Structure 1
Amino acid sequence: MPMTNTAVFAQTPKTNKVTLTAAVAVNTAGSTLITAGANGAVVTSVRFSPNGTVTASGVNLNRAGAPVRSETLTAYTLSATAKLPQVAFDVSRDYPITLGANETLDVSLLVAQAAGVTVFAEWMDY
Structure 2
Amino acid sequence: MPNTFTAPFAQTPKTNAVDLTAATAVGTAGTILVTAGANGCVVTSIRATPKGTVTASGINVNKAGKVLRSETLPAYTSALTAKLPQVAFDITPSTPIELGANETLDVSLLVAQAAGVTFSATWKDY
Q: What TM-score do the two structures reach when normalised by structure 2?
A: 0.95
Match for residue 6 of structure 2?
6
The aligned residue for residue 104 of structure 2 is 104
Distance 1:80 1:6 in 2: 51
Extract unaligned runs of 5+ from structure 2. none
State the secondary structure of the residue aligned to 2:58: strand
Residue equivalent to 2:121? 121
Structure-2 separation of matches of 1:20 and 1:6? 39
- Cα offset, 1:6, TM superposition: 1.5
Answering whether residue 25 of structure 2 is matched by residue 29 of structure 1, we say: no
- CA drift at 1:5: 6.6
Is structure 2 residue 57 aligned with structure 1 residue 57? yes
Quick one: distance in 2 between partners of 1:71 and 1:21? 17
Question: Within 5 Å, which residues of 2 pair with 1:70-85?
Answer: 70-85=70-85
Distance in 2, Cα, partners of 1:22 & 1:45: 23
What is the CA distance between 1:7 and its match in structure 2? 3.1
Output the CA distance in 2 between the equivalents of 1:67 and 1:5.
Answer: 32
Corresponding residue number in structure 2 for 1:48: 48
The one-letter amino acid of 1:8's match is P
User: 1:108, CA displacement in angstroms?
Assistant: 0.3
- Percent of aligned positions that are identical: 72
State the SS of the aligned residue for 1:82.
coil
Q: Distance in 2 between matches of 1:5 and 1:71?
A: 37
1:85 offset after TM fit, Å? 0.7
